[in-house]
Structure 1
Amino acid sequence: MNSTSVSPENKSVLLGLIKLMRPKQWIKNGFVLAPLVFSGQFTDIISIADSLLAMFLFSMASSATYIINDYHDIEHDCKHPVKSKKRPLASGLVSKSQALVLLCILYGVLTWGYFQQPTVLLVILAYLGLNLAYTFFLKHQPVIDIFTIAIGFVLRVYAGAMALSVPVSSWMFVTTLCLALFLASVKRRQELMQSGTEGRKVLEHYSVSLIDRYAEISATGALLFYSLFVMTARPEMVTTIPFVLYGLFRYWFIVESQDGGESPTDALLSDWQLMVTVIIWVSVSAWAILPKGV
């Protein structure tokens, strides 16, 4: 019995490898499912399976980018008071060789995924290339760094559309871009507020007031373009607009009053009102788009 049990050391490494993949951040890949909802194909089992597979593959790709980023930043993270304890590579919980083995496994999964959904993998390859550029160069370029993060979310939506072989509305693309710019701007704002310019070199070029203006413009654009999209392409979804508006208000409340927002995922999972708002929005959207007679 004892000979087959996992030793505490191996268990610690396993947990470190899982942490290195940042599974909690996979919630961002929910954007891949947006075309499934808005195309009305969420009642078709095959479409659901295709979308979930695309989401899974994107999750593997995002985990691969986290590993590369942590590997590249290990020396900097070791000097950071928080990252030196929380990041598996910086804390020594996971070795460089173990991280590289995990990275190869993830790339192996993506290679398998190419034979399942080749068009989705082409989008994922663009995402991987974009994030490589971000890790080594773009994250040090002011404004470009924020747009790079936002484009990653747009690619998620595009991958979801490729999985279903459906066109994506231009309104959806620009709405996703604005919403992602809002989230990325708030993230930079909170990093600047909480860690100063030591957290990221690019933060030396920003001020809180500047990023606040970026966030306000992006949030306004997201609401405006979403409303135009609904009223022109999906008028049956007009009742979802108040929930989007409330979600933006609530998120900004979390940022200002509860000092959250550095991690959009943490903000969503830690605030029950925001979670309920998202659930209601998805439910109302699905009900409005549900084909008649289903």
Structure 2
Amino acid sequence: MPTNQKSIPVVGTQAAPQGRISDYLSLARFDHVTKHVFVLPGLVLAYALQSPALPALYFNVPVGLLSAICIASANYVINEWLDREHDAAHPTKSTRRAVVVALRPSIVYGEYFLFAITGLVLGYLIGTLFFLTSIAFLASGILYNVRPMRVKDKPYLDVLMECLNNPIRFLLGWAIVDGLTLPPVSVLVAYWMAGAFLMAAKRLGEYRDISATAGVAVLSKYRRSFHYYSEESLMVSCFVYAMMTAFLSGVFLVKYRVEYILVFPFISGLFAVYIWLAARPGSVVQRPERLFHSRRLDVMLAACIVVFIVATFVDMPFLDFVATPSFISIPVLR
């Protein structure tokens, strides 16, 4: 990774103050730990479908979650460090510590490798599948942030790569419970597309707010991919990702557990609330760590979780007709 970048930003006409320990730790974004809720569906589904022994979970769950947090923090460190010049053009991200404080590159990269190695070591203790998925988690951060790849600068690929962390987190949750099999591809891709919807909605919120106040030129300085976006294209992409999520989820439930059809109305409601939030000025979707400040979103998410858990552990044979071909006979009039 490049190390020959300026380490001392300038605020106004004066050199920025030297960074303290708290400034370096802020790069790890521990306030984003709520994103690891995306690990839980993989864990719950693997437990429901595979019925593992409980004793192993008492070790795997806390160690696995700690591993995921460490690797995510490593990705955040490199993201915030390499984005500091771009973040300076963002209305709110311009206050990040990497922008306003002078940080030493050697310490930043040392922090990155410390979190990365700790996460991989903990992942190795879980098993092969979890360890390999942890490597993929770490690699996604490099592909997303580091030149010459730096996928975040490419339209649509920026969304698809960033939300690739969703199926990776799902697979981490699955591997915590079952390290010998892979989850259904349909549910992994559905999870990916759901993440793409959330990320595209975040881009939409950013586009609407920043372009209205500062102009599209500022957006392009913050993130190059915005040069190719429009409000219409982002809205259409949200619609496509939502449709793909619904289709692939349907494939999964028909093949594996028809009870999940009960979750569909609540997922639809969750998507509706999210796109409604994205359309509001100063929307919380632009800062995922603050999503739980929306009461409507909290209520809809809680309902989804409750119905998902019930549908996972309660068999409902009366729903079998949904996956059984049938035709309604029309009486013939004579």
Aligned partner of 2:279 in structure 1 is: 256
Please give the residue correspondences for 1:27-46 in structure 2 after superposition, counting only pairs within 5 Å: 27-39=34-46, 40=48, 41=51, 44=54, 46=56
**CA shift at 1:100, angstroms?**
3.0
Partner amino acid, structure 2, of 1:141: K
Structure 2 stretches lacking a partner, 5+ long: 1-18, 211-215, 316-334
2:241 is matched with which residue? Answer: 218
Question: Which of 174, 179, 189 is residue 161 of structure 1 equivalent to?
Answer: 174
| Matching of residues 117-156 of structure 1 within 5 Å | 117=126, 118-135=128-145, 136=147, 137-156=150-169
Structure 1 residues 263 and 239: CA distance shift in structure 2, 3 A: same
Q: CA deviation at 1:251?
A: 0.9
Going from structure 1 to structure 2, the CA distance change for 1:75 and 1:236 (only over 3 Å counts) comes to closer
| Structure with greater Cα Rg | 2
Displacement of 1:48: 5.7
Letter in 2 for 1:169: P
1:151–1:177 contact (8 Å) kept in structure 2: yes
Change (3 A) 1:224 1:42: farther
Could you tell me which amino acid in structure 2 is paired with residue 234 of structure 1?
Answer: R
| Residues in 2 aligned to 1:45 and 1:291: alpha-carbon distance in whole angstroms | 23
The 1:231/1:258 distance shift into structure 2, 3 A limit, reads farther
| Gap change, CA 1:249 and 1:75, over 3 Å in 2 | closer
Unaligned runs of 5+ in 1: 1-11
RMSD between superposed Cα atoms in Å: 2.5
Of 239-248 and 21-30, the range deviating more from structure 2 = 21-30
Q: Deviations over 1:146-192 (max 9, x none)?
A: 11112221222122222222431222112112101101211222222
Distance (Å, rounded) in 2 between the aligned partners of 1:167 and 1:48: 21
Structure 1 position 92, deviation (Å): 0.7
Number of aligned residue pairs: give it. Answer: 279
For residue 124 of structure 2, the aligned residue among 115, 120, 126 is: 115
Indicate whether 1:191 and 2:206 are aligned. Answer: yes
Work out whether residues 198 and 274 of structure 2, in 8 Å CA contact, stay in contact via their aligned partners in 1. Answer: no
**Contact preservation (8 Å) 2:89, 2:222:** no
1:102 aligned partner: 111
The answer for the alignment partner of 2:83 in structure 1 is: 73
1:42 and 1:48 in contact (8 A); partners too: no
Q: 1:281 aligns with which of 298, 304, 311?
A: 304
Task: Give yes or no for contact 1:89–1:96 (8 Å, CA) kept in 2.
Answer: no
Q: Which SS does the other structure have where 1:157 is aligned?
A: helix
- What's the counterpart of residue 178 of structure 1? 193
Indicate the larger mover: 246-255 or 93-102.
Answer: 93-102
User: In structure 2, do the counterparts of structure 1 residues 144 and 72 end up closer, same or farther at CA, with 3 Å as the change threshold?
Assistant: same
Comparing both structures, which one devotes a greater share of its residues to helix?
1
Gap change, CA 1:121 and 1:201, over 3 Å in 2? same
